[in-house]
């Protein structure tokens, strides 16, 4: 059963007793219906936010890694920009399987450790990572690996649940066999992510945050949940950042 927006908001903004699973196990289960979630506010917001950070110059003729690719939600729009190659990375075998059904020629890699041990140095020009980074416990180690597999001139785009939302008790939840489940998250302040990448030679190019405001009010109106909207109006829910190392295209 796919939750309504009203129930989705309640589950993500209020602390509830749910069974929490690590990201690999959770997304293996969630993969069964991940692509069939009408009214999923976070997925819809990411569909709006991510293209605002994406641009042809960092994709066309570039070797691109999509870390936390899931079922390939963004692959059609990425492919339209003509990358030299596109490789999907994910901890979930189930999500990668679904991606393979949609993109039979896809090149994918199942993440077994944050160090990406089997990936050579300087293999990619660009890393994209959407709604993923809060699933990573050892952030410094993981981002260090991202920097290692990137070429000297490189770009990183990250979007995710806003840490303010997660710190408030927000959860990524779904239903499987009538059981309410949550994916384990770790709260990483945005300044910490930027700081780690700054130490590895990256500079901030763009940053966006989305609040609950008039632009998303229609979700609540359609679900007769305007009281929820009024209560959380102004609350930060998702962010995106673009960082660059070296002399990449402006």
Closest CA to 87 of 132, 56, 119: 119
> pLDDT tens, 67-115?
999 999 999 999 999 999 999 999 999 999 999 999 999 999 999 999 9
Domain boundaries defined on the chain = 5-245
Report the DSSP beta bridge partners of residue 83.
60
> pLDDT tens, 203-244?
999 999 998 888 888 877 876 778 877 877 888 889 999 999
Mean pLDDT of the chain: 89
Using CA of residue 112, residue 114, residue 115, residue 116, what is the dihedral sign? positive
Phi/psi-derived region of residue 236, left when phi > 0, alpha when psi is between -120 and 50, beta in every other case: beta
Mean pLDDT of 123-139: 97
How far apart CA 67 and CA 121 sit, in angstroms, is 16
The residue to which tokens 């007793």 are assigned: 17
Domain 5-245 has CATH 3.40.50.150: yes
Give the pLDDT of residue 15: 44
User: What is the pTM assigned to this prediction?
Assistant: 0.88
**DSSP-derived 3-state class of residue 58:** helix
Report the DSSP beta bridge partners of residue 219.
none
Closest CA to 11 of 40, 50, 34: 40
Highest mean pLDDT among 8-17, 146-155, 168-177, 232-241: 146-155
Give the pLDDT of residue 7: 52
Mean pLDDT of 36-59: 89
Is residue 161 within 8 A of residue 185, CB to CB? The reply is yes
Backbone angles phi, psi at 160, to 5 degrees: -170, 170
């Amino acid at each position: 059963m796919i939750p309504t927006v009203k129930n989705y908001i309640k589950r993500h903004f209020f602390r509830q007793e749910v069974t929490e699973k690590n990201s690999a196990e959770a997304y293996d289960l969630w993969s069964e219906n991940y692509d069939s979630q009408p009214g999923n506010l976070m997925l819809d917001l990411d569909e709006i936010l991510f293209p605002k950070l994406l641009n042809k110059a960092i994709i066309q003729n570039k070797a691109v890694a999509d870390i936390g690719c899931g079922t390939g939600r963004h692959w059609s729009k990425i492919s339209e920009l003509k990358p030299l190659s596109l490789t999907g990375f994910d901890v979930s075998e189930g999500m990668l399987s679904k991606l393979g059904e949609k993109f039979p020629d896809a090149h994918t890699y199942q993440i077994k450790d944050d160090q990406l041990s089997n990936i050579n140095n300087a293999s990619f020009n660009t890393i994209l990572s959407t709604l993923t980074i809060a699933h990573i416990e050892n952030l410094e180690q993981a981002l260090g690996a991202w920097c290692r597999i990137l070429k000297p001139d490189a770009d990183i785009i990250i979007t995710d649940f806003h840490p303010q939302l997660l710190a408030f008790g927000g959860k990524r939840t779904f239903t499987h066999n009538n059981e309410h489940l949550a994916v384990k998250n770790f709260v990483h302040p945005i300044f910490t992510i930027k700081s780690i990448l700054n130490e590895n030679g990256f500079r901030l190019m763009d940053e966006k945050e989305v609040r609950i405001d008039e632009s998303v009010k229609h979700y609540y109106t359609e679900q007769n949940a305007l009281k929820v909207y009024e209560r959380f109006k102004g609350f930060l829910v998702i962010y995106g950042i673009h960082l660059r190392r070296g002399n990449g295209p402006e």
